[in-house]
Chains A and B, each alone.
Chain A
């Protein structure tokens, strides 16, 4: 089943001589439960593409359709709600709210929606992430790996349509990286999530179902791994 469809997506910075095409006419579909790795050199437009998929940036032209909805036809308000419910972001630098503890950080998207908690799901999620002992800690009391696990929890808290991870292991040592990727894979399989992940690590990329290679804003290779 198709979750994301990208049509003729472009993102241009600057004008005239200074014009840079960060994303240049990309077409793409991603199916439910797929684990997609995006690779490419620095500045190739990977992150911009990911941002456009998650509705935090706005394209210069083209469409992104998630669950049948053209997200850039939404208002700012609706787009925020879209992000809250349909997208889970995982960042390289974790980006946790420093004043909230682990559990609260994970629950943040739900809190923003004033939604009643599915306690069972959340407890399960926290224990899968191995954060049971750390529930009441503030982010600055955690190691990098632990913080990244919290942000995975936050991304999955709403059972979004798509999880977007921008070099989630870029800031971690190899041991922690492995753990994080294992966790991501586990949760994707367990909850049948769709995961799009940017990485420089070919080891990680090779664990994906599909590897998309981007250069100069265009897809140069799109291969399925079986």
Chain B
């Protein structure tokens, strides 16, 4: 027994079980998607914050140059949760700089930058100790690994060292002397400033720990050094205070207020900008972020899609019940009561759908993350799903908005239903306004009577036609824009197609390259070792070998002539080593790559292909830049000067024309509209006076074992800290994993969207038929065969699909272009009409339409014709 008219709602929902379930599925998918996206975004932000804290430390602001009597005012402030005190302890010279070093930076010494930290600061900052522990008292010290070299006897943990501490005094151009303040972020820029060191005291420290080096590039002049800080007697005038507020909200205002209170200026505050930015303390900046834009774009799409689905669902269920609502109206329900009933329905569906959706969204993220963790992806190590109440609340609200937005139109419509609709005893579809449709002879000829009936059915009611096509269009648009989105994400994340080999030694340090080269070549599974060298040069060529297209795209670049030849600036002299000349063979268009022949005739190879930029059309193009013939002469100089000095020019002969070079882009194509000249080691050395900058690329056999090389290289690294290399195979592996992860996310997304789309199409098409049950029965009663009915309905579905393809294809393509414009800013690539997605979605829409017509049709066909005709509902 119901107690209130609104309870009729429950009955309707129960009776219309299928529609109710479809609608709830729509709501669940929508909320789950929004939750998943939000959770993902929050989790990523969380991971980024963790990363910043790992790199920069867990503080919000630093107050610099704080006098000792003001420290308490900062650390004891109510807003401050954690604080730490540090103090510059002066510089300690490591050794005098060499003449060569002074040439690039006029500093008399290499220094240790000694700074005292209390325990709290060391907690806040991300310092990690490789060996030993962090300092506690002011006579304990931690040294960077690289620094150990500078002491006469490499200090070990437990050793005592003596440092001469003092000030660096800098003489500015006007003769005034300034003491370097040794500020937290490093202090002065020193070039072109005269500097002297003033010793103040000597101090003995106990080495308690060794830290890993930050200075990978090893040409640093300053090394940060950590010593302890005794907090008992703070009496200096320049302490730096690290502060973490209890809440990051308005961190900048809080810091400014504190500074003002103790008489410091804004210049005395430094912020952990990355951290504040990630915590949305500077919102305007992050809004410009392309990723945020993409996120907004996606969520908008999801909401539009789900509103469409749920709206459709409500709308259809209202249409089906027009006579019901009319009846309620005739027995005296007000429009408001009817509206309330529909909203009540919406609320019930929302109350069921939203929590399930929230749960599904988080669960889905967990499952995805679990799958990702199975492939042992580094990124995931720090990555934790953050279930943020904010995301849950926002998703719920967005879900509710979606539901009510969807229910609003249908509710109004239901409220407006006239009581006469019930009194006149009409089902829903008699209400529709029929339009007389002209017969089309063409359609009749092509598809027979069924086709003509189908056509008339489609055209007779504009509104329903529009609703059906619209719901299919939405589905297609979603599919097209999402699959192009995933394609774009791939393009962005795609590994560049550089064939970089497996390892690159970019800095040999003090080690001997030749012996290294020989040793590497003998390691198992090493296919090739390239000693790649390159050097800038200017080339003089005959004017007609430069392709007109290249000249056209770079107007004015090839106008300078010397001795009748055109100067090609920005050219490169390249060698890959004489052992590797044959690796160029596959790309040889003409001529020879034989090292001996080249050496005997002063021969070189030239690269024909030039990637350049088409300014007019605002895009990158790859063209044939130079059209050399075998035997052409080129004059090469490491520097063309005005003096027209002929000695400077060396003549070489083109003996081979290459499509492209090898390895990284730097060597592969003609760069910067210059010319790449490739030859043997001997010739290249002859051409370049300054000597060549050499890098070693190691290429392994396919599926070869990388371990011996890896071991060899890390051994070299142990020997010489200046030796540096990159392990591309590791990176390639990581890239591959990134790709898999992207796949899981994007295809997961496309799958859910496709599912939503299917729900939508099924809903619309099957309702269309159910509403016409009586009519179809009537057609059968007057003698249309089962088969013909099927054909008619199938033709209708196909027609819907085709119409949807036209609109959906156009809109989807437009949206994919819009996405492309957003993504473009991250990484450029060419846009193409997504024919594939259009085709797939079109076929998909038609198939789903056929299936969703088939099921209710079967039900209609199975029953007794007269029952169906009599059927009122």
Contacts and interface: CB of A to CB of B under 8 A. Distances in A.
A51 B334 contact: no
A97 B3 CA distance: 16
B5 interface: yes
A112 B419 contact: no
A91 B331 contact: no
B337 interface: yes
B423 A91 contact: yes
Nearest to A96: B327
A93 B425 contact: yes
A89 B331 CA distance: 7
Q: How large is the interface on A (under 10, 10 to 19, 20 to 34, 35 or more residues)?
A: 20 to 34
Interface in B1-18: 1-5, 8, 11-12, 14-15
A112 B423 contact: no
Interface in B133-174: none
A83 interface: yes
B598 interface: no
A99 interface: yes
A57 interface: yes
A202 B690 CA distance: 123
Contact of B2 (A56, A76, A104, A109): A104
A56 B327 CA distance: 10
A92 B872 CA distance: 13
A49 interface: no
Contacts of B420: 51, 56-57
B422 A95 contact: yes
Contact of B332 (A82, A95, A99): A82
B14 A84 contact: no
B328 interface: yes
A81 B419 CA distance: 13
A193 B873 CA distance: 32
A104 B11 CA distance: 11
Nearest to A84: B332
B60 interface: no
A98 B328 CA distance: 12
Of A85, A87, A91, chain B has the most CB atoms within 10 Å of the CB of A91
A112 B14 contact: no
Nearest to A57: B420
A84 B15 contact: no
Of B3, B14, B332, chain A has the most CB atoms within 10 Å of the CB of B332
A91 B425 contact: yes
B333 interface: yes
Contacts of B418: 56
Instruction: Give the secondary structure class of B's interface.
Output: helix
B5 A89 contact: no
Interface string A172-197: 00000000000000000000000000
B14 A99 contact: yes
A99 B15 contact: yes
Contact of A56 (B15, B324, B419): B419
A17 interface: no
Nearest to B10: A99
Interface in B675-697: none
Interface string B280-319: 0000000000000000000000000000000000000000
A108 B5 CA distance: 7
A226 interface: no
A20 interface: no
Contacts of B11: 99-100
A45 B4 CA distance: 37
B324 A97 contact: yes
A166 B12 CA distance: 27
A77 B334 contact: yes
A92 B332 contact: no
Contacts of B199: none
Nearest to A82: B332
A108 B333 CA distance: 9
B331 A76 contact: no
Contact of A76 (B334, B423, B872, B873): B334
A46 interface: no
Contacts of A56: 329-330, 418-420, 423
A104 B335 contact: no
B2 A112 contact: no
A83 B328 CA distance: 10
B128 interface: no
Contacts of B328: 97, 108, 112
Given A97-B324, A97-B327, A99-B8, A85 B332 contact: yes
Interface string B420-434: 101101000000000
Contacts of B423: 51, 56, 89, 91, 95, 166
A13 to B, nearest CB: 12
B17 to A, nearest CB: 12
B497 to A, nearest CB: 64
A83 B324 contact: no
B332 A76 contact: no
Interface in B326-355: 327-337
28 contacts: A56-B419, A57-B420, A80-B329, A81-B334, A82-B332, A83-B330, A84-B331, A84-B332, A84-B333, A89-B423, A91-B422, A91-B425, A95-B327, A95-B422, A95-B423, A97-B324, A97-B327, A98-B15, A99-B11, A108-B328, A108-B331, A109-B331, A111-B3, A111-B4, A112-B331, A112-B333, A114-B4, A166-B423
Nearest 4 A/B pairs, CB to CB: A84-B332, A99-B11, A83-B332, A56-B419
Interface of B: 1-5, 8, 11-12, 14-15, 323-324, 327-337, 418-420, 422-423, 425, 872-873
